[in-house]
């Protein structure tokens, strides 16, 4: 029953993790590359509602763009981490950066990216944020099975293996001499 619950949990956490990654990447793209924050400070006060609606429409468009173009690239790394129970934050952040960069390169030749969205700095920043967000939601518990390599705390809880019989060390000091000195008229330097 525990395996069934873990499997169902993975089916819930992985899509939520992907949505969190897309949301984090979209926030970095909207506020970094496109400077969406400047839309909320228009020159005339009567333009504020229009700027707010424009910002919401832009955010939805970016989310749809990211959801549709980068899911397949990210899915390769996500499936790899789930299959081999890779829980490293560095793996998931790297997967986010690679997915964002490849997704931006897929969209760039078509000219479908607005100005500033294909800037390498913001693409890498969006990938970093997306990978970290995925790791926080789903990546830190990746894998249906427990990882093969256990943590030091888990290894300490295991019973110790039977100790092998100890052999004398080669660099050990020689046994002490018998009391009374050398016998039979021999010395340590020879006869």
pLDDT tens digits, one per residue of 2-24: 778 878 888 889 989 988 988 88
Give tens-digit pLDDT for 80-111.
Answer: 888 888 888 999 999 999 988 888 787 766 55
* CA gap 134, 67 in Å, rounded: 14
Give tens-digit pLDDT for 150-190.
Answer: 566 665 666 655 444 555 556 556 666 667 655 555 555 55
* CA gap 28, 182 in Å, rounded: 85
Give me the pLDDT at residue 164, please.
Answer: 46
Give me the pLDDT at residue 163, please.
Answer: 44
């Amino acid at each position: 029953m525990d395996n069934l619950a873990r499997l169902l949990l993975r089916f819930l956490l992985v899509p939520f993790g992907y949505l969190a990654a897309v949301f984090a990447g979209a926030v970095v793209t909207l506020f970094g590359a496109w400077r969406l924050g400047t839309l909320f400070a228009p020159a005339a006060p009567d333009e504020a509602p229009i700027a707010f609606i424009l910002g919401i429409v832009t955010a939805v468009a970016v989310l749809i763009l990211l959801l549709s173009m980068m899911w397949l690239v990210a899915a390769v790394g996500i499936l790899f981490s789930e299959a081999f129970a890779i829980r490293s934050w560095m793996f998931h952040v790297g997967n986010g950066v690679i997915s964002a960069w490849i997704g931006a390169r897929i969209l760039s030749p078509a000219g479908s990216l607005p100005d500033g969205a294909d800037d390498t700095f913001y693409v890498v920043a969006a990938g970093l944020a997306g990978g970290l967000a995925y790791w926080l939601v789903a990546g830190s518990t990746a894998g249906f099975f427990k990882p093969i390599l256990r943590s030091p705390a888990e290894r300490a809880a295991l019973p110790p293996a039977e100790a092998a019989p100890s052999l004398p060390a080669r660099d050990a000091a020689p046994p002490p001499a018998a009391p009374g000195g050398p016998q039979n008229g021999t010395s340590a330097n020879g006869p």
